Chain A
Amino acid sequence: MTTSSATIPIARADGPSSAFEYITTKKDELVGWARKFSLFPYPFVTACCAMEFMAVSSTPYDTDRFGAALPRFSPRQADLLMVVGTVTHKQAPVLRKVYEQMCEPKWVMAFGVCATSGGFYQNYAAVQGIDRIIPVDVYIPGCPPRPEMVIDGIMQLQQKIATSRHPIVTERF
């Protein structure tokens, strides 16, 4: 097959290259940049917020723009735990177990006011905020939040990932 289109030289075989070979950056910035656009959410969907989760991941709002659309239903393949809706005391061991099963690095999003603080269910059944059980990185208020708020939450999480440290070799590097 013949083609007339020009080929772009990645690197020249002979001598010093003018092509794109090196960049200088910080390791944390590079890893953070890569990680923030490849979030694989695990939707821990329990309650009313699921309706807005459906809306947020479908056509009109499309979280694929942020690289965060493809849900992984195995915690071992996911790195963003989206806790969507009320977590009750009966559910708490399950949530904790799912969190433990996720590999590092992992982030947790409290989606909606019930996951954030228990919401207006101040009673014997509901956990008063999932941060009593697992650490949380980003909170999204609203009962349920509008899709725009969820997208804002994802962007804030991306910001957090881009600016935080990413030890990959040892604890300190």
Chain B
Amino acid sequence: MKLPPLASLPNPVKSAFAPSAEGGPVIVNIGPSHPATHGTVQIIAELDGERVLRTDVHCGYLHRGFEKECEAHTWHNLIPYVDRLNYVSALINDFAYCDGVERLLGIEITPRCRYLRTLLSEYSRIVDHLTCIAAGLMELGAMTAFLYLVMIRDYMYEHLADLTGARVTYTYGRIGGLARDLPDGWLARLAEILDQYEVFVGRVHGLVDRNRIFIDRMRNVGVLSTADAIHYAYTGPILRSTGAPRDLRRDTPYLAYAELDFDVPVGIKGDNYDRYYVRMREMDESVHMIRQLMDMLPAGPINVADHRCTFPDKALVYTEIESLINHFKLVMDGPAVPAGDVYVAHESPNGELGFYLVSAGGGVPWKVHCRAPSFVHMGGVHRMLDGYQLADVVPTFGSVNMIGGECDR
């Protein structure tokens, strides 16, 4: 193996700021491979001493051609790609995408599927917030809290692997239903894990909530006003941390959210501490919702009986010609989705996760566009970074929870 010479390496981005003259502001480059930018993002900051004057944020280091790849796969086959958008809460991506296709097909999912999707969405939200808070705390040096949160997250990963077969990327949603029903004893284990969750998260509350170092790093840092948040299209916990109770689960109820009792936690002034606390409170609300859903979960089928999208029973495929043909057509041609376009939005842990699906008829989508909250949030993140210290970039960026797969697609 012979490495080509290094001098030929080009710079993939062009900075918005030119290096200034002697004695002027200093330009510092952070990322894209930096321990404090979980995910790959590059921040070029202009500094006056330790104070950040301007920032130029570059994303795209994880652009994997999601939308182009979708145009080459059938509506079913692209579900694994959808999983890897926000890989921390892959199930919510699945369900939002499937919801979009079901609206194009005009399908109403079964009640059991509807409640199960709601339950798993909330479960994913807990996993996502745990990861975000754990990583954010680790960057501030709170290693114990990180280990506690990752421990409980690992219980959840193994529990989800019992259901779906994978720890992180599940490919569990199906158009018109779900891949499989709950295994025996799954709900009993869920109840155990939720009890464990309260113990572990209680410890984290005790460790950091009133910790002087934590408050000094988080309070009044990275403040965002509600007007700015709306101007830059912030949604989800960041918008709620500014005091605006905007939550799609409440504003445009989908799945089974209209039947659930839950609060929408909001912050006071939209700083890092509020973003941390809103996420902690949202996890508690999610646990509350999961407990209600465990009691409400009805019996019945999980897939709709619609031959356009639901795969026939495997036993029938081997014994019955109609089912064999149906299976063959679904695999080879994909589900026949009527022409049209739809925009569907779910409340993902980061904000409004939208899918704009365009069908020209047939089994392959014409266009699948993901309205990724992380990407939109990156467009306004300079409002939270400019004017603070360079060291504040780390907790502020951690509290924004940019997920590379979703941001760069």
Contacts and interface: CB of A to CB of B under 8 A. Distances in A.
B65 A121 contact: yes
Contact of B168 (A43, A48, A91, A124): A48
Nearest to A74: B35
Contacts of A91: 12, 32, 40, 61-62
Nearest to B32: A94
Contacts of B88: 51
14 contacts: A43-B35, A45-B33, A46-B62, A47-B84, A51-B168, A60-B154, A71-B35, A91-B61, A94-B61, A95-B33, A97-B6, A124-B68, A135-B1, A146-B167
Contacts of A45: 33, 38, 40
Contact of B151 (A44, A51, A58): A58
B63 A88 contact: yes
A54 B68 contact: no
Nearest to A61: B154
B11 interface: yes
Nearest to B6: A100
B25 to A, nearest CB: 25
Given A54-B135, A90-B12, A126 B65 contact: yes
B234 interface: no
Chain B interface secondary structure, helix, strand, loop or mixed? loop
B380 interface: no
Given A47-B404, A125-B63, A54 B131 contact: yes
* Interface of chain A, main secondary structure: loop
Nearest to B2: A135
B350 interface: no
B146 A88 contact: no
Contact of B404 (A46, A54, A120, A135): A46
Contact of B87 (A43, A51, A100): A51
B80 interface: yes
Interface in B1-28: 1, 3, 6, 9-12
A151 interface: no
B147 interface: yes
Nearest to B150: A58
A86 interface: yes
B147 A58 contact: yes
Interface in A64-107: 71, 73, 85-86, 88, 90-91, 93-98, 100
Contacts of B40: 45-46, 91
Contacts of B32: 91, 94
A59 to B, nearest CB: 5
Contacts of A73: 34-35
B349 interface: no
A48 B405 contact: yes
A143 interface: yes
Interface string B65-77: 1001100000000
Contacts of A94: 12, 32-33, 61
A86 B64 contact: yes
Interface in B105-157: 131, 134-135, 146-147, 150-151, 153-154, 157
B401 interface: no
Contacts of B147: 58-59
B60 interface: yes
Contacts of B35: 43, 71, 73
Nearest to A99: B3
Contact of B405 (A47, A59, A90): A47
Contacts of B135: 54
B65 A123 contact: yes
A93 B9 contact: yes
B151 A59 contact: yes
Contacts of A98: 33
B81 interface: yes
Given A45-B38, A55-B157, A126 B168 contact: no
Nearest to A92: B12
A134 interface: yes
Most buried by A among B60, B65, B135: B65
B396 interface: no
A122 B72 CA distance: 11
A144 interface: yes
A96 B61 contact: no
A28 to B, nearest CB: 21
Contacts of B62: 46-47, 85-86, 88, 91
A50 interface: yes
A29 interface: no
